[in-house]
Structure formats: structure tokens, C-alpha cells
Structure 1
Amino acid sequence: MPTNADDADEFGVLQSKRNATRYQILVQIAERQPAVNQQEIADAIGITAQAVSDYLQDLIEQSYVDKHGRGRYEVTKEGVDWLISQTDELRGFVQHVSEDVIGQVEIETAIATTAIEEGETVSLTMRDGVLRAMAGNTGDATAVAVTDAAAGQDVGVTNFEGVVDYELGSVTIVSIPPVQNGGSSAVDPDRIAELAAGHDLLAVGGVEAVAAAETVGLDPDIRFGSAAAVREAAAKGLDILLLASTDTLSKHTDTLRDQNLSYEVVDVADTS
């Protein structure tokens, strides 16, 4: 329990256990006011009810809390201002940890294209939608290996510098009408086969789309969760042919637009 709350104000929530407790109690009061049960607060933050009572008296003396009768408390404007200032401090610390600490030790996985030793600087490229690492710092993007790896093995890399240079992929969408409007039989199978040959991956969305692929004798690379998977593949530089039944089309196009990924919808109706 703080003997002098003014002294405690010199330290933020992260530096003072006493201020951390005051912060928690004020939050609990704000959530429960005006009817405040001290035992419930004690249980919520893991201290005794007597400690809560002592802190409450201190907070009242500091004009952070007003008492309106037995068991009725309210956080004052001063108390709210103090909560905001401490919350801003916490937010800034979380951002620092996220961006400056965790970001620096973040480890990604790449495929080694040469033998790599732990601690060695590597150059990074993107090929076939997979991050690749080569010993040496000759590329525009570099990192430091945190594991050993032979060529073809996975390798952990961190401490990234530069930007991996690659082009985003594109998505060609074939809309497959609902079964009552012809379904897979309403599209030209030869045109679908021709389009599939010019793309890295084939994705399907909806039963009509699955039937259209099977009619052509194609085995889809992406069948389940296709909206998210297509977005991810295109973001990593792959070109995808997407067969999408009409009822799933908007879900796919909305996902692509949200990520500013290029797509076009082509007409392959069977006119024979």
C-alpha cells in the first residue's frame, strides 16, 4: 500500500507495482460504478479486500475517486485523466515491444538454395511463392541465418534488411453458373484447360466449380478456404486461375480488392 500517493505518481504503471494496483482498482471501479463491491475487486485483481479498502481511501484523498455513500464510488475526471495517461504509457510500451523488440527477433523460414551456416548473412528472394535464402549479402534483401541448412533444407532467418523484390501475382476468375442455369456444363472445357495451362495454380470455389475442373480432368491445387488461399498465393507472386461458382464469386473478389490484388473475370461460356 502506498504511504504517499504523490510519490507513486512519479512512477508509471510499468515501473511501480503500487501504481499498477491503483490502475487496476480504478479500472474495476469504472466498470462497476456506482455500486462497487470491494471483495469482487479484490478477487478480480488478486489482493485482499482490506488492501482494496486502503487503496480506495488513498484514491479518494487524491481526488481520483468520489464516495457517494456505503459501497457507492465513482471515478472523477482527475481519475479518468490519470487512467488515460497511464493507458497511453502502456500502449506506447506495447508498440515498442511489438515493433522494436519482437520485430527484431522475428524469425521467418526460407528454403536454402546453398549451404548456409548459423550466423551467416544471406540474400533473400521469392520464387514459386516461397522465400529463398542464399549465402552472401549480394541481394537487395538480406537477413541473418539462425540455423544451419544444406541446400534444399528449411532455414530460419532474422534481422531483415531491405525489401524482397518480386511482383504480385494476378487472379483470373471464371464464373461458373449455378446448376439450375447449366452449372459446369455451361462453360467451355477446352477454354478452361487452356487457361489452366497458363497459370501457376488452379483454385476452385463451390461445387459447380469442382465439377467444372473434374470435367476437364484437372486436379485443383486449392479447394478449401479458397478465398484466403488465393489471396495469399497472389500476394506471394503466383498467378492463379480461379473457378468460382456464382454464389461464391463476391467473397473472392471482395477479398482480392481488400488487398489491392489484381484480378479479372473472364467469360468461358460454352456457345456450341
Structure 2
Amino acid sequence: MSGEQSDASGSGVLESKRNATRYQILVQIAERQPAVSQREIADAIGITSQAVSDYLQNLIEQGHVDKGGRGRYEVTKEGVDWLISQTDDLREFVQHVSEEVIGEVEVETAIATTDISEGETVSLTMRDGVLRAMSGGAGSATAVAVTGAAAGRDVGVTNFEGVVDYDLGMVTAVSIPRVRDGGSTAVDAERIAELATSHDLIAAAGTEALAAADAAGVDPDIRFGTAPAVQEAATKGLDVLLLAATAVLSAHTDKLRDQKIGYEVVDANRT
């Protein structure tokens, strides 16, 4: 077995320039067969026609390509098997890069509170549940801007250092009975209105909850409050008043408990 043949069968495409070229040529043949122009292949992958000819001769010797006449080539079963094996390796490598390499270069989005230039060090704070970035590195948490932004616009930040100083929010849940049990009419609207004044965000989950909010003169910030949305708001430091239909309340409290977010269920039923 020749050195080139061993190289083709034993090394990955990215480990050998010859294998990478061999892989590209086989792909080009598979796309164009049986009428294959060496010039078209050369132009497509950026090498000379003579180089393509040399590679083709080697691929024929290896049994990866059949030559049926002048300008007629086909990839053999062995050649297809080799392409598949190399493609599987490439797919795994791309997944590794995407998930474990690029994914580790975390980029978050913040709102610029001052004009920020790309590459500038910024200070990070959390306000109203939104990450904020300010020019300069004097804060307890800093990052580097990967985009430029005017004040009030979104800016990408990475290379985090320190900890953004803020407390988790608290969720106050009010169970709204099912409609057959009275629905919104069974709840004290004045009590809901009172609770709303001491919370940063109002979420309604379920039709009965929307009706209860309307009866209390409260306009929910989240009209279709899902458990992840409420949990994220509290995670960002917002105190949330959750009006939840009885049928969906447990889904919310389970999520909050799993994420170790403080909550209480209050009684707002009419007495």
C-alpha cells in the first residue's frame, strides 16, 4: 500500500492538505459525473488542471474513481464510502467548534447608557430587568464591547469580569378560580389593584386571570404569562405579580421552585 493511499484512508480531511483536496475533487466528480471537465474542477477548488489530473490518477489507482473514457469519471462505491466517512468527521468537528469553541465565547446584549465604541471596556449594571452597559471600566462588573452603539441602543458585550450586583426578584402569585368556580368575580379586584402597586411587572396567565386584571383596572405587562417568562423576569431582579388561573398555577410554582426563586401565593378571594 502506498504512503498516499494510507494517508487517504487513515487521516481526516482537516489533518491532511492532500486529503482535503482529494475530498473536494471527489465531491466535484460526484456532482458532475459522468461528464467531468478537469478545468471546471480546477477552477472550482483553486488548483491547476495538471494537479487535478495527478489527483485523478491517484484516485483511480486507489479504486475511488472509475474512468470510463476521455472526460468521463464516476465515483465508485469505495469512493462514496470514503466521502461519507470524511463528511461524518467534518460534521462532528463543526459541531464541536459550534458548541464547545464558539459557544464558550459568550456574547450578551446590553442597552448602552452612554455612547460606546467597539473594543471599549464597559461597566455593567442591571436595571429594570435589563443589562446596561456604560463606557468605562469602573464598575464591579466589566466587559468588552464587540459592537459600537449610541446611548439607548443595543450593544454586544463579551469577556466578562466581576459580578453584576443585583438581587433576584420575588414572585407574588394570586390564584384565580376556574370560571365554573366564579372566575374573576370570585376575586377581590381592590386587593389585586393594591398588590399591583408594589410590583415591577404584572403577568397574567389564563383567560380568568386576564379578566381579573381588567376588573382591577390593571394592564398586564405580560398578557400571556408563561412559566419561563415569569421565571426570567424574576431572575433579572424584577418583583412580579402573577395572576394565574388555577389550572396553570402549579406549572409556575414548580418552575420557580426548581430555579430557587422566592415566591408566595396570596389569597385575594372575596370574603
TM exceeding 0.5:
yes
Aligned mates of 2:152, 2:80 — CA distance in 1: 63
Letter in 1 for 2:183: G
Aligned mates of 1:54, 1:214 — CA distance in 2: 70
The 8 Å contact of residues 174 and 265 in structure 1, kept in 2 or not, is answered as yes
Letter in 2 for 1:51: V
Aligned mates of 2:119, 2:80 — CA distance in 1: 54
Partner of 1:174: 174
Q: Is the counterpart of residue 121 in structure 1 residue 145 in structure 2?
A: no
Partner of 2:78: 54
The 8 Å contact of residues 112 and 155 in structure 1, kept in 2 or not, is answered as yes
Q: Is the counterpart of residue 261 in structure 1 residue 261 in structure 2?
A: yes
2:193 is paired with a residue of what secondary structure?
Answer: helix
Aligned ranges for residues 134-213 of structure 1 at < 5 Å?
134-213=134-213
Aligned mates of 1:99, 1:143 — CA distance in 2: 21
2:199 is paired with a residue of what secondary structure?
Answer: coil
Q: Is the counterpart of residue 224 in structure 1 residue 224 in structure 2?
A: yes
Aligned mates of 1:158, 1:152 — CA distance in 2: 19
The 8 Å contact of residues 176 and 183 in structure 1, kept in 2 or not, is answered as yes
Letter in 2 for 1:168: L
- After superposition, the Cα gap between the structure-2 partners of 1:100 and 1:162, relative to the gap in structure 1 and judged at 3 Å, is farther
Aligned mates of 1:49, 1:258 — CA distance in 2: 61
2:247 is paired with a residue of what secondary structure?
Answer: helix
* Mean CA deviation greater in 152-161 or 118-127: 152-161
Q: Which runs of 5+ in 2 are unaligned?
A: 27-71
Letter in 1 for 2:77: S
Deviation of the 1:50 alpha carbon = 5.0
* Aligned Cα root-mean-square deviation (Å): 3.4
Highest CA radius of gyration, 1 or 2? 2
Letter in 1 for 2:96: Q
Partner of 1:100: 101
Aligned mates of 2:81, 2:126 — CA distance in 1: 62
Deviation of the 1:266 alpha carbon = 1.6
The 8 Å contact of residues 144 and 159 in structure 2, kept in 1 or not, is answered as yes
- After superposition, the Cα gap between the structure-2 partners of 1:155 and 1:56, relative to the gap in structure 1 and judged at 3 Å, is closer
How many positions carry a matched residue from both structures? 219
- After superposition, the Cα gap between the structure-2 partners of 1:163 and 1:52, relative to the gap in structure 1 and judged at 3 Å, is farther
The 8 Å contact of residues 175 and 249 in structure 1, kept in 2 or not, is answered as yes
The 8 Å contact of residues 147 and 156 in structure 1, kept in 2 or not, is answered as yes
Deviation of the 1:97 alpha carbon = 4.0
Deviation of the 1:100 alpha carbon = 3.1
Deviation of the 1:126 alpha carbon = 0.9
- Residues 181-221 of structure 1, C-alpha deviations (whole Å, 9 max, x = no match): 11112122222122111111111111111111111110000
Deviation of the 1:176 alpha carbon = 0.6
Q: Which runs of 5+ in 1 are unaligned?
A: 22-47, 59-81
The 8 Å contact of residues 167 and 237 in structure 1, kept in 2 or not, is answered as yes
- After superposition, the Cα gap between the structure-2 partners of 1:173 and 1:108, relative to the gap in structure 1 and judged at 3 Å, is same
Q: Structure 1 vs Structure 2: percent identity of aligned residues?
A: 59
- After superposition, the Cα gap between the structure-2 partners of 1:6 and 1:134, relative to the gap in structure 1 and judged at 3 Å, is same
2:139 is paired with a residue of what secondary structure?
Answer: coil
- After superposition, the Cα gap between the structure-2 partners of 1:210 and 1:145, relative to the gap in structure 1 and judged at 3 Å, is same
